[in-house]
Structure 1
Amino acid sequence: MIKARVTVTLKNGVLDPQGKAIEGALGALGFEGIGQVRQGKVFDLAVDTADRAKAEADIKAMCEKLLANTVIENYSIALA
């Protein structure tokens, strides 16, 4: 079994209203010097195979088809 972490973030230039809201909330809570907050998603997966290349290819297909909107989001895959 191979464990993987997929991190999905908005591409540069794509507006991130949730990140802006978090940035404002941090300022309201007294945290100073915080800027350019961007939010994203993390998926932890366990793939039932011992073949790392197959696992990575399968996870990439999952990202392209479901986990990430590749028009506006980037993703990265880290295998454990």
Structure 2
Amino acid sequence: MFYIGQAIGGFVAMAILAAIVERIGFKRQPPFQRAMFTVATALLIASAIAGFGMADGGPYVWSAGLNYLPGAVVVFFGI
């Protein structure tokens, strides 16, 4: 279940991470492809970091990236 705080935190994290990724790469792509690749890369990075962060000494949490998916959709349409 998603809570409001998780959704807002996922949006803020995705917006910051997408801005960083956008500055570094995908400059020569058309706008739609640039937005798609930027958000996908940011979501992949956020999911990988969150999977290790939510593990709490246990195994990798594969579903950790789902917290960032609503924020990724909002950032994709906002770019």
TM-score range, shorter chain: 0.3 to 0.5
TM-score by length of 1: 0.38
- Quick check: which one's helix share is greater? 2
Rg larger in structure: 1
* Greater relative contact order structure (CA < 8 Å, 6+ sep): 1
- Quick check: which one's strand share is greater? 1
